[in-house]
Structure 1
Amino acid sequence: MEMGCVWMRRVSSGNALSALLVKPPYSVSSPSLLSFLHLKSPPISSVGFSPPSRLPLSTAACSSSAALVPDDEDSFSSSSPRLGSYGKSGIPVKRSKVLLKEMRYVELEKWVQMQGFRPSQAMMLWKRLYGNHIWAHCVDELEGLNKDFKRMLAEYAEFKALSLKGIRTAADGTKKILFSLEDGLVIETVIIPCDRGRNTVCVSSQVGCAMNCQFCYTGRMGLTRHLTAAEIVEQAVFARRLFSEEVGPISNVVFMGMGEPLHNVENVIQAAHIMVHEQGLHFSPRKVTVSTSGLVPQLKRFLHESNCALAVSLNATTDEVRNWIMPINRKYKLDLLLQTLREELHRKKNYKVLFEYVMLAGVNDSIEDAKRLIDLVQGIPCKINLISFNPHSGSQFRPTPEEKIIEFRNILAEGGCTVFLRLSRGDDQMAACGQLGKPGPLQAPLLRVPQEFQMALNAPA
């Protein structure tokens, strides 16, 4: 992979612990829990901008301070089978307890049976975790369940994957939630209320991001680690639990928070499946949107395995510009990305991809860009979102003036494209698109500005 395509860093870690298996409190004839969870050692190695030392790993269970990152080539070709609830992401198991929100319903049902209880108990538990306006975070909130079952859950199951750290409310009502993870890291989730009832939760999929998109504040962080499926699902659970009464039902989920979702494709597909389960959170698959910067193999896998919506961050109409502002383009060029979409969407009926296009003054907002964009998306069932750039500390870009965005939109519309303008929400609390996260002293590198754009970036605001 070319330099600049992926940027990761490590945090300090302790030694890996051996696997902790739960002995069922009741006699069962089912396969062992080890067999069910497939606990084994995933390959772990250094990647990108990271120290040469490697972390020891004996099992998928490791100390709570560990942050383990897979090799970049392995992670970009995530075609290996799931390693159960914990293995692939390489993050710590919460002590010896099973994380309930890590499992799809069929996995939860199997685990419940292994503990000696009927499948119906699993469905009752599932509804209390995700439905019935309960969104349980502890055993005490599981009214109506068998006492022995609740006692087993208290001893062997963990309900929460996140801890609430704080909530910040923007002038327009957008809310940014800060969550602490088990290892002390922090992620951000955004609630976007809408007067028309289309309330949205924007979830994160990673701590930081490896893609190093030059216009994104989160990209300045580099990648620390993937989030587990449980940590992703819990963001949506918290959103409904905290804000359903205040803003109304939360009907939409967008994977547009911290991280590149398809870099963590295993856990994102798992989380999205849990979110759309009809007896659980029951989001419509068309209202759960997973965004990507253009990881082609994972994009194909997502379209094959999930019925949820797909958004692609395009942001440029030439490889030269996209190589600079979105280094992943050096690995997966525009032609490959767009041809893959043509082929894959031809097999899916009534399915449209959403192209996201962040407008950067003097970089990608010319009339020629608009005309090229019309040509690029030909043959792809799509909608286009034009997004105003949201400034942040250290940014070298400027937002395109509103009148020029409208001109750009009109050219696309005249060319037969379905196009929308997406307003910034929550920017006064750094909750808008591209503003999440908190880069530390060690940051991803800024790439060299091509000669033809240096004047545009240095122009007065």
Structure 2
Amino acid sequence: MAIALDIARLNPNAPPVAATGAAVAAMPDEDPRLPLIGLTREQLGAALLEAGIPPRQVNMRENQIWQWLYHRGVTSFDAMTNIAKDLRAQLAERFTLARPEIVAEQVSSDGTRKWLMRFPARGAGKPVEVETVYIPEEGRGTLCVSSQVGCTLTCSFCHTGTQTLVRNLTAEEIVAQILVARDRLGDHPGGAAPEGAAIPTEGRAVSNIVMMGMGEPLYNFDNVKAALTVVADGEGVAVSRRRITLSTSGVVPMIERAGAEIGVMLAISLHAVRDDLRDELVPLNRKYPIAELLEACRNYPGVSNARRITFEYVMLKGVNDSPADAKALVKLLRGIPAKINLIPFNPWPGSPYECSDWETIETFSDIVNRAGYASPIRTPRGRDILAACGQLKSETQRMRARERMALGAMVAGTGE
């Protein structure tokens, strides 16, 4: 059963949020000011120079603002106390530090947290919504971040794949998800975690980032690259690249570039050992079949026994979970420094699959473990709030789906 959240402000700089499941007032029309969140250091310096900051001061101001934004997590220029008051006012007229609107915040019975965030309209577009999930575990806290609104890949086991692609998220919108999570979890200096929150007892609340939410990160490469450059910067959010994982369904031409230009850990949504089955589960396989995908993994820059590629494998009852499948998986990955994450299928409304029996999953795990692959079984987290792997979808899209189902039932009832 999901637990309602205490909506007290956890960071004195963070904006208020509506109670679980409730909507707050709509955001105003698009702000004409330039957002600073998500700009790389070079872009930030250029923006300050264009705003009239003397060239000899640009580096200093850039460093000051950077630390206030990403280390301190402030949401107002007024909080930047080592910058002169008149300059703060000048910056506030030209730039914005706004966070997205939090439409809803849910807490699972297992401590997993999910935020539905709404971003304002861009140009002629409409406001958009994405979901971001925080998974507390022993010794670490993992934030699952979205890269797109919707998805084009239509993976048959994935709830997100039933939502059409609306647009890519900007670098600002990707980084903002992380800042909001840190606000809510009290992860900035001086912040306070929610009472009774499940977070690591030591270290940071958000210690790991996975680009594994809504969307395919490699189809939004430039924005994902810019965002993760900001997140990995040692003087800001400062999450090590070895604690950032980019998950892809297999956009083969972009994999080598991701390794060379972003340099984070790689995860592959594999889920099948035969092309005919993977064509059905992950339709992108028709364009980039398994052999091409695995060759790209062998050539991933920096891959080694110390930097293994994670292969994600969802366990679908009677579909891909036999001992023969496990042995074929071991054979496929031979020669690739790899580990395997076995993911019990997380059901969603209308899903065509069932989760494999636990005994079947354990048998599969034993086979790949004996072959030398670490294959932890990822215990389902956040199922009761539809926050588990493959369950994310914007609430607007869920609402429309429910309306379509209700209309269909009504029409069927009238015999029309």
Question: Which TM-score tier does this pair reach, normalised by the shorter chain?
Answer: 0.7 to 0.9
The percentage of counterpart residues that share the same residue type is 38
- What's the TM-score once normalised by structure 2's chain length? 0.81
Matched, 1:130 2:70: yes
Query: Please, which runs of 5 or more residues in structure 2 have no aligned partner?
Result: 1-26, 122-126, 194-198, 403-416
Letter of the 2:343 partner, please give it: I
Q: Say if 2:168 is the partner of 1:226.
A: yes
Aligned counterparts of 1:94 and 1:275: Cα–Cα separation in 2 = 25
Give me the whole-angstrom Cα distance separating, in 1, the residues matched to 2:105 and 2:115: 5
The residue type paired with residue 122 of structure 1 is: E
Residues 174, 190 of structure 1: 8 Å contact kept? yes
- Which stretches in structure 1 are left out of the alignment for 5+ residues? 1-64, 66-92, 444-461
2:47 corresponds in structure 1 to: 111
Counterpart for residue 264 of structure 1: 220
Instruction: Assess if the C-alpha contact under 8 Å between 2:250 and 2:268 holds in 1.
Output: yes
Matched, 1:419 2:357: no
Shift of 1:110: 2.4
Matched ranges for 1:235-246 at <5 A: 235-243=177-185, 244=187, 245-246=192-193
Amino acid at match of 1:189: T
- Structure 1 residue corresponding to 2:150, chosen from 184, 188, 208: 208
Q: Secondary structure at the match of 2:92?
A: helix
**2:131–2:392: 8 Å Cα contact kept in structure 1?**
yes
1:320 paired to 2:258? no
Show the counterpart of 1:459. none
Q: Residue 87 of structure 2: which of 140, 149, 154 is its match?
A: 149
Deviates more, 1:110-119 or 1:360-369: 110-119
> TM-score with structure 1 length normalisation?
0.73
Give, in angstroms, the shift of residue 275 of structure 1. 0.3
Residue 377 (1) aligns with residue 333 (2): yes
Contact 2:303 2:309 in 1 (8 A): no
Per-residue CA distance 1:383-438 (angstroms, 9 max, x = gap): 11000000000001000111111100101111222211111111000011111114
- In the comparison of the two structures, how many residue pairs are matched? 350
User: Contact 2:344–2:379 (CA<8 Å) still a contact in 1?
Assistant: yes
Distance 2:220 2:353 in 1: 28
The residue that corresponds to 2:266 in the other structure is 310
1:165 aligns with 2:103: yes
Query: Where do 4+ consecutive residues of structure 1 move more than 4 Å?
Result: 345-349, 440-443
Q: Secondary structure at the match of 2:255?
A: helix
Deviation digits for residues 55-93 of structure 1 (CA, Å, limit 9, x no counterpart): xxxxxxxxxx9xxxxxxxxxxxxxxxxxxxxxxxxxxx9
* Matching residue of 1:276: 232
- Residues 1:368 and 2:324 aligned together: yes
Range with greater deviation from structure 2 (155-164 or 335-344)? 155-164
* Counterpart secondary structure, 1:237: helix
Partner of 1:354: 310
CA distance in 2, matches of 1:350, 1:175: 30
Structure 2 residue 133 is matched with structure 1 residue 190? yes
Distance 1:347 1:193 in 2: 27
Q: Would you say the 8 A contact 2:148–2:169 is kept in 1?
A: yes
Superposed displacement of residue 161, structure 1 = 4.7
Partner SS for 1:419: coil
CA distance in 1, matches of 2:300, 2:103: 41
- The amino acid that maps onto 1:114 is E
Q: What SS does the corresponding residue of 1:301 show, helix, strand or coil?
A: helix
- 1:302 is paired with a residue whose SS is helix
